[in-house]
Amino acid sequence: MTAHRFEAPAHVPRGLAAWLRIWAVARRHAYVLYRSPHRLFDVTVWPIVDTVLFGSLGVYFVSQGGPNSAGQAGVAYLLSGIVLWHVVYQAQIAVSTGFMEETWSRNLLSLMVTPLRELELVAGIALFGLAKLVMGVGVVALAAFTLYAFDVTDLGLALLPVIAILLLGGWAIALFVVGLILRFGNGAEALAWGIMFVVMPLGGVFYPVEALPAFIQPISALLPTTHAFAAGRELIDGGPVPWGELALAAIGTLVAAAAALAFVAWMLRLFRRRGYVTRYS
């Protein structure tokens, strides 16, 4: 038995209808957050904890070694790293948990018989995720400025391409997680949180590739986030815009995003063909 989609009325332009469906998905997730304020933990409490943890580590090591320029740069690396880390983290976790919300509420089958297309569902979740990202990154930046007098905006407009690359990278990781959930069910949900703590040490958030053990360095160098965070550190040092690092990060991120889209499309076809939707009905 196959499900048939109900199409929008003919008088509604196709582009407008698609946008309205995307907006409806974003509003649906906004209502969930409004009714469950404890879900704000990821964009309020957790960012502050991260800022205090890494900022205090930097201040402690400076106090032990004296207020030299290298120590001060280390504090800046830690604080800028955690601000930028929350870009990729919030982008990934918002899309991953947004999709999982549809599985927890047993809503996937209902969505499959509406005019909503898969890309529109992801776009709606990502749109709402952008609002959460702004909140989460804003909390980190505010905490860094209030507690440690670190103003990330001092890095200027050159920081924008770094943020854009990390945002796209977070979405690519989220699509990979969604594909695994489609294939393996709820057992793969742990990856939504766990995978980021694999990327964090390998992605050069706070240090260059050379600081890692030698046998891990080639893996780290392949990750686009490594070059994005390296570009951020060069800006912290007051250097010119590191176009070389940004180019490597952008190319790697585009390749990763294309691979993630292909993977999730493959898993979706398998999801339909094998009837895995019954897991959530």
Contact 276, 102 (CB under 8 A): no
- Mean pLDDT score, 14-32: 87
Mean pLDDT for all residues in the chain: 86
CA-wise closest residue to 29 among 86, 87, 105: 105
pLDDT value of residue 10: 54
CA distance 200 to 225: 9
Measured CA distances, 39 to 23, 42, 46, 132 (Å): 20, 7, 11, 11
Contact 112, 3 (CB under 8 A): yes
Q: Give the CA-trace dihedral at 143, 146, 152, 156, to 10 degrees.
A: 140
pLDDT value of residue 273: 86
- Mean pLDDT score, 217-240: 90
Determine which of 92-101, 143-152, 235-244 has the lowest per-residue pLDDT on average.
235-244
pLDDT digits 0-9 by tens, 203-212: 889 888 888 8
pLDDT band for position 67 (cuts 50, 70, 90): low
**Whether the predicted pLDDT of 101 surpasses 70:** yes
- Mean pLDDT score, 124-135: 93
